[in-house]
Structure 1
Amino acid sequence: MKKRFAVRAVAAAVTVGLGLALTACGSNSGSGGSEVSSGDYTGPKVTISFWNGWTGGAAPVLVPKLIDKFNSEHKNIVVKDVPMQWSDIGQKMPLAVKAGKGPDVAVGHGDDIATYAAQGLVLKADSIVKSLGYSASDFPAGLMDAGKYNGAQYAVPWSVTPLGLYVNKDVLQKAGVDPSSIPADKTSYEAALAKLKAAGVQGEWVDGYVFTGTFEFESLLWQYGGDLFDKPVTKATFNSDAGVKALTWMTDLIKNGHSPANVAQDGNINALIAGKTAFNWNGVWQTTNTAFGKLNWQAVAVPQIGTQKAVWSSSTHWMFMNNKGQDKNKTAAAATFVKWMNDNSADWPKTGELPAKNSVRDDPKLVKDYPALKPFLDELPYAHYEATAPGITSVEATITTAVNEAITGKKSPQQALDDAVAKANALIKQNKDTYGN
C-alpha cells in the first residue's frame, strides 16, 4: 500500500508529460466501448491481459489463486496476470495502449481514471456497467463517481481503503484511560490526550508525510465542512477556514506536547507498536500488519474532531483499455472477469483493502472472518474519495507539501496552505491547457 502512494508523484509526472503529446494525436476517448455488451461472455476463446500493481503483501498470492479459479470455470477465457509496480503501470500504459500492446483490463486508482480517460486510453464503460447490472447503489455512496469523466463512466469500483484510529490499549490502561471506552469525539479525545500527557505519554504522534499526515488533514478538513477543491475541480480550496482549523489542530498536538516534533515517516505507527503512544490515524491496510504480533490493539473509526463525520479513503477501479485495434471479444471477456472478481472478493481483506461491492461487504461472514474491519465498514457512509480530474495527482502533492511545512514548523498553517493552493491552482491551469475541458 505504501509503495502505491510513494510512486504516485513519479507516475503523475510521466503521465502529465505524455498528456499533451497523446491528446494532440487525436482520440475517440474510448467511444468504441459503447458497443460492448458483456453480461456473460459466450464468444470464441480469448486470452486477456490483466495489468495490476499488487506486488506486495498477500495480493501476489491471492490474485493468482483467484485468476486460476476463474480460468478453471471459464473455458472460453484465459486471464493472464501481469503484476508490476504501480509506477511502471503509469509509465508504460500510455504508449502501450496507443501501440495496441496494453492490457485488456487494468486496475487504477480513483484519481488516475480521469487522466487516462482524457488521453483516450480507457473505453467508455456505460454499456458495460449496464450489461453487468451495476448501478451506483451497488457500491459505497459516491464511489461510482470516481470512475466518471465528462459525464461518462470509465471504470467499475473494486476496493476501498478508509482511514481509521489504531489504539494501543495497554498504553491507555497505564495512563488511567478506560480502554473499553475509546474516545470518539473531540472532547473525549482531547481529554484522553491530556491524561496520557499527565502520565508522561505523548498520545498521538503527527507527521508531515502522506502516511499519515496528509490523510489525517484531509479527514479533518472535511469534518470541519471544507473541501480540497471546488466541485468542477477548477480551483483548490483547502486553504479555507476549515483547512486552517484542521491543520492548526494537528500542529497544536505538537505545540501542546501531545506529539514530538519532526516525527519520521512511519515513526507514529512504530511508536504505537513499541508502546510509546496510544493513538495512530492510519489506513485499513494496517489490519494486516504482522508487526502487531501480540500487541493489545484495537481499530475504531477516526474521532469526530470537527462539526461532522468524515474520513479519507482511497479507491481502486477496473478499467477497460482502449488499445489500438482493441478486440471487442476481449473487452467483453474482461467484463465477465471483472464481475466474477467482484462477486468473489470476500477474501480481499487479506490484502488490507475492503471489497467495493456492497453485497460482498454486507455479508455477515466478512466481519466474522475479519472482525477488525467493522469500524472501517461503518465509516463508508461518510467516506470521501479522491478528486477526479485529469492530472490531479500532481496537484494533490501540494497538499502534502503544505502539511509537511506546517507540521515541521517551517510555516504557519495559513501560510503553508495559501502557498500550496497557489501552486495547486497553477497546476490545475497547466492540466487544463494539457488535457482540455
Structure 2
Amino acid sequence: MPPLPTPPTRRAFLGLGAAAVTASALVACSPPDLSPVALPDVGEGYDGPPLTLKFWNGLTGGDGAIMRELLLQFRDEHPNITIEMFAMPWPSFYQKFPSAVVSGLAPDIGLMHNFHVATNAARGVIVPLDEAADRIGLSEANFSETVWRSGIVNGRRYSIPLDVWPDSLFYNRRVLENAGLDPDDPPRDRASYEETLEILAEQGIAGHWLPAIDPQGVGRGFDSLQWQFGGELYDEEGTRALFNGPEGREALEWQLERILSDQSKRNVSGGDANVAFKNDLNAFLWGGPGALINDLGSVEDLDWGVVPLPLIGEQPASFSGSHQFVIMRQRAFDPDRMRAAFTFLSWISENSIAWAGAGPIPARRDVVESPEFAELPAQSSIAEALPDVRFYPLIPGIFDVQSTILYPALSDVLLLNADPQEALDGAAEQANHLLEENRQKYAEAMS
C-alpha cells in the first residue's frame, strides 16, 4: 500500500492561508467569473498515474477524524488517488476558498453547508455539476426529494449531498424519571410537551433551556416553529421577508412563554444548556445530530435518547442543514483530476454509512434503508423526520440575512429587551433592504 497522506505542515498551511488572504483583495475588486464552464467529458473510474486531490472543509472536530478515516479507506481501494484534506474553522473556510479560486490556488473539492451553495454559485467560485451527477449515476431517485433539490440553483445543480441533519429533541431519561415521568415516552406534541415542562417547573426544574444569548441556536428553533405554524421565512422570489407574519409571531411568543413561565432559565447560551443537560439539570435540548450525538455519547453514565422535534404547530417541520460536496472553479480543468474527483464523489456517496458515525443522517436513500443504518439507534430515530425537514430558501446571501438580522432580533426578545412583533417588523424591514442589495449584487447569476 502507498504511504498514507500526511497533513500539511504548519508552515505550509500558514503559507496557504497567506496566499488566500493576499488574494482576498482580488475578490474584493474583481467581479465574479460567471462565464460558462465546460468540464472535461470524463466519467467515473480513474486508472491513470498517481495524483493528489486537495479537499477543503470545516470539519475540525470529531467529524473530521471520521472523514480522514474514510479518506484512508478510499485510498486503500484506489491507491493511485490521494485525497489531501485541509480542515479549518468554517468561517475561515468560507473566507479563504473564494480567494484561492481567484488566485489559481483552488482546491479540487470542497464540502460546504447547503445554505451557502447559492451564494457561492452566484459568486462563480463553484461550478455546475449536472453532467457530473449524471456521469457517476446519481439522481433524485438516490435521495429524498428535499435534500436532492437543495443543491439546485436557477435550475442547475451545484452540489452533491452527503448528509442531512435535522434539529431534533434530545431528552434526558434520568431527569424525566426522577420527576415521575416515563423516561421512554418523551413528549411528541404541544400538549404533552407543555405539560411535561410544567410538571418539571413545579419541581424547580427548568426543562428546556432556550439559548437566548446564542442567536444561532434560538433562531433555528424559531425557524422550525414558524414552519410548523404554517409560516414561511421569505416569498418564493426571495425578495421579501415573511417571518413577521402571524405564524412568526406565534412561534416567537411560544418561545418567550417558556422563559416567562420558568420552563427555561433566563440569559443562557447553547453551551450552558448543553452542560446542564450533561449534568442532569434539564430535560430537553433542541439541536442537530451532527454535533450532539457524539458529544452526548462521550459522556459516561449520561442516559439520553433522541426523537424528532415535537409537533408544536399544525404540521411537522424541522430546520435542517446538509453538508454538500462542490467542485471549485479552476483556471483549467484537467481530465485526470476530474475523473479522480468523480470517482471519489461516487465512492463516498455509496459508502456514507461510515459517515453516519459522525452524527448526521446520510443523504443516500439506500444507505438510510440499510440494515447497517438500522443498528444506529439515535440516527435511526431522527431519520423519521426526513420527510418533514426544511431548508433555508436557495437565495444568494440568505445566511447573512438570517444570521445578522433575524436571529439577533429574536435574541433581543428572549432577553426581554424587545416586543415580539416590533422586533420581527424591524428585522423584516432590514431584511428586505439586504435582500434587495443581494439581488442587485448577484443579479447576473440570478437572471
Give me the TM-score of the superposition, normalised by structure 2. Answer: 0.88
Give the deviation of 1:182 after TM superposition: 1.5
Residue in 1 that maps onto 2:175: 171
> Could you tell me whether the CA contact under 8 Å between 1:20 and 1:435 is conserved in 2?
no
1:189 aligns with 2:171: no
Give the residue type in structure 2 aligned to 1:297: W
Distance 1:43 1:70 in 2: 16
Give the deviation of 1:20 after TM superposition: 6.6
* Cα distance, 1:242–1:401 mapped onto 2, change above 3 Å: same
Give the deviation of 1:43 after TM superposition: 4.7
Give the deviation of 1:272 after TM superposition: 1.8
Residue in 1 that maps onto 2:238: 233
Give the residue type in structure 2 aligned to 1:53: G
Match of 2:412 among 388, 396, 405: 405
* Cα distance, 1:17–1:271 mapped onto 2, change above 3 Å: farther
- Of 135-144 and 304-313, the range deviating more from structure 2: 135-144
Give the residue type in structure 2 aligned to 1:277: N
**Unaligned residue ranges in structure 2 (runs of 5+):** 1-22
Give the deviation of 1:140 after TM superposition: 2.4
Distance 1:126 1:406 in 2: 43
Give the deviation of 1:210 after TM superposition: 4.1
Distance 1:21 1:27 in 2: 15
1:339 aligns with 2:343: no
1:432 aligns with 2:436: no
- Of 127-136 and 258-267, the range deviating more from structure 2: 258-267
Residue in 2 that maps onto 1:72: 76
* Cα distance, 1:25–1:168 mapped onto 2, change above 3 Å: closer
* Cα distance, 1:64–1:296 mapped onto 2, change above 3 Å: closer
Residue deviations 1:91-149 (CA, integer Å, cap 9, x gap):
22112112221011111111111121112111210001111111123122311222112
Residue in 2 that maps onto 1:108: 112
**Unaligned residue ranges in structure 1 (runs of 5+):** 1-14
Residue in 1 that maps onto 2:38: 32
Please identify runs of 4+ aligned residues in structure 1 that moved more than 6 A: 15-20
Residue in 1 that maps onto 2:384: 378
> Could you tell me whether the CA contact under 8 Å between 1:176 and 1:195 is conserved in 2?
no
Give the residue type in structure 2 aligned to 1:167: Y
SS at match of 1:111: helix
Distance 1:229 1:337 in 2: 36
Residue deviations 1:358-377 (CA, integer Å, cap 9, x gap):
11121121231x21212211
> Could you tell me whether the CA contact under 8 Å between 1:19 and 1:119 is conserved in 2?
no
Give the residue type in structure 2 aligned to 1:310: A
Distance 1:413 1:168 in 2: 30
> Could you tell me whether the CA contact under 8 Å between 2:210 and 2:270 is conserved in 1?
no
Residue deviations 1:23-52 (CA, integer Å, cap 9, x gap):
x254315x223x543232345543221111
Residue deviations 1:60-82 (CA, integer Å, cap 9, x gap):
32222222222232244232222
Give me the TM-score of the superposition, normalised by structure 1. Answer: 0.90
Residue in 2 that maps onto 1:5: none
Distance 1:423 1:19 in 2: 26
Distance 2:28 2:93 in 1: 19
Alignment: residue pair count: 419
Distance 1:75 1:266 in 2: 42
> Could you tell me whether the CA contact under 8 Å between 1:99 and 1:323 is conserved in 2?
no
Distance 1:167 1:240 in 2: 31
> Could you tell me whether the CA contact under 8 Å between 2:51 and 2:81 is conserved in 1?
yes
